[in-house]
Structure 1
Amino acid sequence: MKRPFLSLIQEAGLSCGVQFTEIEEHIVYRAQKDGKTFLMYNVDLGLNNTSAANIANSKSLTYSVLANAGLPCVEHTFLPNPNTAYSTGDTFVKAKQFFLAHGPQLVIKPDSGLQGKDVYKIDSLPQLKDRMSQLFAKQLDVSLSPYYETNYEFRVVILKGEAKLSFAKEKLRSWKHNLTGGQAKVRELDFLPATFVNELHKLAINAANALQLTFCSIDVLHTVTGLKVLEANASVFLSEYMKTSNAAKQQVFELYQDAFTIKFNE
């Protein structure tokens, strides 16, 4: 059975005259319109170039690019798996230095992780070492960042330099802001001043431009020192958001209508 999010994306394409041929069930499609064609992998329309997508897939590289551009962002440091050729020296020494500089609480996660998997909050050096060993055993590279206590994480979807959709993720029964599993809930931004939303959108647009991403979502934290970009997602996932209301579903539908139009006009 085709996933609802994928179905909605293809319905948006069909409404624009796009035809889909399934190559590999539920994962690879040929999209065609007016003699033009492209391969669509999963829910990704391929609007981003490979280098930009690869950088966005790394928490630490995303931080490096955004910091280099002078944008406020959450620091991430890269800890290579000691079993790979990229590892040099004692990885825990670097992790310990980061903990002493940015503790007493950190977040440890896969450097290229998605959807909040294998993400942990730590508050001691022994816990840090245990979590590093756990993630390295899964053949993962790791990223460390400071922990910011905040009720809201904001997601802004950017398409060709424009903020097309945005919402807050309000945490519920966890320190995380993941919509999957009910750890957080969607909240529209109408409870916030327009000036705040404009600032949020401006930061997300600037981040997408700095990363050279055409179609992406930018996650932003509201910290005691202001808004900071947490991460970027080169593949846009709105499967949980579209479930929240008919209006949200319509927003996602119209977003992908615009995305297909841009794709076939490249």
Structure 2
Amino acid sequence: MRIGIVAWDEEDPDSPELASTGRDLGHDMAVFFLEDVSCRDAGGVLETTINGEPAAGFDLIISRAQIRYEHAQTDHERYALLSQVPGLTVLDPADVYLNAESKFLGLQRLGAAGLPVAPTRCCASAAEIGSALADWGEVVIKPTFGLGGTDVERVRHLDEDRALVDGLLAKYGRLVCQPYYPHPEGDMRVTIVGDEAPLIMNRVPHASSWKANAKQGATANMVTPPPELVEISRRAARVMGVTMAGLDFLPTPDGYRIIEFNNCPGWYPAPEDYRRHLTERVIEIFVSIHESKTRVNGHAHDLRRPVP
């Protein structure tokens, strides 16, 4: 089978590893970026291309795409072009993926489904953040689109942190605002693929930081979480309609709460054996979904193509 992987960026370590596993499993793999997606005239029809080649030459696209804040319209257009190629399975398609990219939309939908999300406000001014501080004592502010802990900041006092608050508001216009929950023993990241949870990490902040994020120096330990967190994570992925997700939980006085829903979870902090198990399951589950879809559409045939 010919499988394409839309990578996050040049520094994404997980997409090349996923491609390597796919090759070991006998597939023809290619890694590209949304910037490589375009279109051209093909006899009066706009044909979607990947690096100048017809996207229809692929069977399956696994998306780890980055929808960049400053290029959201263009990135979404490229993604949508890819998602509309007849016969090509894109997991997940543009509408599903883009909705899951938004922290606001994700938390809204999960909360409406009765899942335990952290209290969250949309703040478009320093006064609104000040009101949250008055109610919650300390808060965490962050953009609704983002990854890796970038521009995620802890605010204790509005006067002392005013320059930071004003800078982020000027950059993003509005911010996700949540209570700060102390978590010296880290958070819980549950990775869902299909209906499985093949990787679960406890991420412990570095001594010099409060952020439980590997890009910010946190240490990842493989753990067996409370069973209810796995079931909550499965339900969350179904609510969002995504095939692969990472659920971030923090312990609070009211039990574990979902802090974020991630539709492009990373696994590079995990030991090699765990990463290999995860990437094998990603390839196997995504291929199975494509094959099932193809059979339903009445085009069952030998999908495996010889690897060049």
Q: Higher RCO, 1 or 2 (CA under 8 Å, sep at least 6)?
A: 1
Distance 1:67 1:23 in 2: 34
Structure showing greater radius of gyration is 2
Residues 38/26 of structure 1: CA separation in 2 closer, same or farther (3 Å cut): same
Q: Residue 92 of structure 2 aligns with which residue?
A: 48
Match of 2:28 among 4, 8, 19: 19
Match of 2:157 among 121, 124, 130: 124
| Distance of 1:56 and 1:126 partners within structure 2 | 34
In structure 1, how many angstroms separate the alpha carbons of the residues matched to 2:198 and 2:16? 20
In angstroms, what is the RMSD of aligned CA positions? 3.0
- After TM superposition, the score normalised by the length of structure 1 is 0.79
> Residue type matched to 2:212 in 1?
H
1:159 and 1:214 in contact (8 A); partners too: yes
Map of 1:177 onto structure 2: 212
Aligned counterparts of 2:234 and 2:34: Cα–Cα separation in 1: 34
Task: Give, as a single letter, the amino acid of the residue that structure 2 aligns with 1:218.
Answer: L
- Report the secondary structure of 2:165's partner residue: helix
Q: Which string of whole-angstrom CA distances, capped at 9 and with x for unpartnered residues, describes residues 19-58 of structure 1?
A: 13566699776899xx752455556894223333223222
TM-score (normalizing by structure 2): 0.69
CA deviation map 1:233-252 (0-9, x unaligned): 111221232xxx23223223
The DSSP-based 3-state class of the residue aligned with 1:220 is strand
What fraction of aligned residue pairs are identical, expressed as a percent? 23
- Residues 126 and 166 in structure 2, CA contact (< 8 A), matched pair in contact too: no
When the two structures are aligned, how many residues end up with a matched partner?
244
Please name the residue that 1:112 is paired with. 145
Amino acid at match of 2:27: V
Cα pair 1:153 1:177 within 8 Å, conserved: yes
Which ranges in structure 1 are unaligned for 5 or more consecutive residues? 81-90, 191-195
Structure 2 CA distance for aligned equivalents of residues 26 and 14 of structure 1:
24
Whole-angstrom distance in 1 between the partners of 2:261 and 2:250: 12
Correspondence for 2:59: 37
- The 1:3/1:93 distance shift into structure 2, 3 A limit, reads closer
Cα gap change, 1:48/1:223 in structure 2, threshold over 3 Å: closer, same or farther?
same
Matches of 2:281 and 2:32 in 1, distance apart? 25
Q: Distance in 2 between matches of 1:232 and 1:15?
A: 30
**1:27–1:42: 8 Å Cα contact kept in structure 2?**
no
**Do the aligned partners of 1:217 and 1:232 also contact (CA within 8 Å) in 2?**
yes
Which amino acid is 1:63 matched to? L
